[in-house]
Amino acid sequence: MTQHTRAEIDQLMEASLAALRAPSILNSQPWRWRTRGPDVELQLDPDRRLPGVDPAGRLMMMSCGAALHHALAALAGAGYAGDVDRLPAGARPDVVARVRLGPAVPPDRSASAAINRRRTDRRPFADVPPSDRDLSALRAAAHRHGVALQILRADQVDAFADIVALAGAAEREVPAYTRDVAEWSDRARTSGDGVSLADVSASGPYRVPPRDFALDRRPGLDPGGGTDRGTVYAVLVTRGEDRADWLAAGEAMSDVWLTLTARGLAASPISEVVEVPQAAAALRRLLGWTGHPAIAFRIGRPGDPTPPPPSTRRAGTDVVGLPGDP
């Protein structure tokens, strides 16, 4: 390997390590990175499937999309373009993307600087809603990936809350679902994955409450002083519903989230609405059949100036292979 290629691989490995901080369904981190010649390959990790929550693998693919976008944001921050082949033709089905170092470009830290500050903030948000400029920036972030971000009108929020409640109630009746949530929200401290009950708040003045991770256990996050009155609800909508659409939705989700973090806003996703087919259909109807809802978000100004603690991650050596690793 030439010196030049080794430096390129190092840059790509650093970007894959930065992508450890990407959000993922139940913090399952369902990906791994492997070097293949001059590329790093992003692969689905089949051992991290969630058969109850995500039988089709949609949220797993979206999580990989978020990791891919985080890696590309890290490369842009270091002053490199990434040359990406998404779902490469003829590759094994677990191969999500191949990334090669592109040309040097002026460093753009607008997204990479937000990677370590981004959190899932499930607490009630503040009184004052995000500004119109904020919302335009978020729509533009989704649009960069061919995905629409539909912000719900105030008169749609009650119907949306009903759909989320319907999805939550339906899921609680499905043993495979509750098994996944219980398993991934009560992990050994050393596992480096899963949702900690310390990141989930018990109650608050929510119009649309976050997912019930606790399932009769005790959540540990202080909800803070937010009223949740300024919270807006948004849905990422794709044109189709295949793996490429889910991957694009994941990249859009990451872009929207890093963009809102950079603007001082906070968010938490609501994916129950796409996990339950009847809820997804009701949401499509609410949105006027404009496309396929990929995920919903609650977005607001933080109700509390102290961010929630960072959630755990696996060690880089568990996720990113060295050159020569199978």
Ligand X SMILES: Cc1cc2nc3c(=O)[nH]c(=O)nc-3n(C[C@H](O)[C@H](O)[C@H](O)COP(=O)(O)O)c2cc1C
Interface residues with ligand X (CB under 6 A) are: 23-27, 59, 62-63, 66, 119-120, 122, 195, 210-211, 268-272, 295, 311
Q: Which is nearer to ligand X, 156 or 312 (CB)?
A: 312
Distance in Å, CB of 322 to ligand X, minimum: 25
Distance in Å, CB of 266 to ligand X, minimum: 10
Distance in Å, CB of 283 to ligand X, minimum: 13
- Buried b or exposed e, range 274-311, using 16+ CB within 10 angstroms: bbbeebbebbbebbeeebbbbbbbbbbbbbbeeebeeb
Query: Which pairing describes strands 31-36 and 39-44: parallel, antiparallel, or unpaired?
Result: antiparallel
Distance in Å, CB of 177 to ligand X, minimum: 12
Q: Which is nearer to ligand X, 59 or 75 (CB)?
A: 59
Residue type, 47: D
* Cα gap 304→321, rounded to integer Å: 39
Q: Which is nearer to ligand X, 101 or 197 (CB)?
A: 197
Q: Which is nearer to ligand X, 39 or 145 (CB)?
A: 145
Q: Which is nearer to ligand X, 120 or 156 (CB)?
A: 120
* Cα gap 24→19, rounded to integer Å: 11
* Cα gap 314→146, rounded to integer Å: 31
Quote the tokens at residue 53. Answer: 């929550």
* Cα gap 27→178, rounded to integer Å: 16
Cβ-closest position to ligand X:
23
Contact 14, 74 (CB under 8 A): yes
* Cα gap 180→209, rounded to integer Å: 20
Q: Which is nearer to ligand X, 101 or 138 (CB)?
A: 138
3-class SS of residue 311: coil
Quote the tokens at residue 182. Answer: 């219980």
Distance in Å, CB of 6 to ligand X, minimum: 31
* Cα gap 253→261, rounded to integer Å: 12
Distance in Å, CB of 171 to ligand X, minimum: 10
Q: Which is nearer to ligand X, 62 or 320 (CB)?
A: 62
Residue with tokens 């043993």: 175
- Residues forming beta bridges with residue 151, ordered by sequence position: 234
Q: Which is nearer to ligand X, 9 or 66 (CB)?
A: 66
Distance in Å, CB of 133 to ligand X, minimum: 24
* Cα gap 64→251, rounded to integer Å: 8
Distance in Å, CB of 155 to ligand X, minimum: 24
* Cα gap 140→317, rounded to integer Å: 35
Q: How wide is the angle at C-alpha 243 spanned by C-alphas 108 and 290, nearest 5°?
A: 85
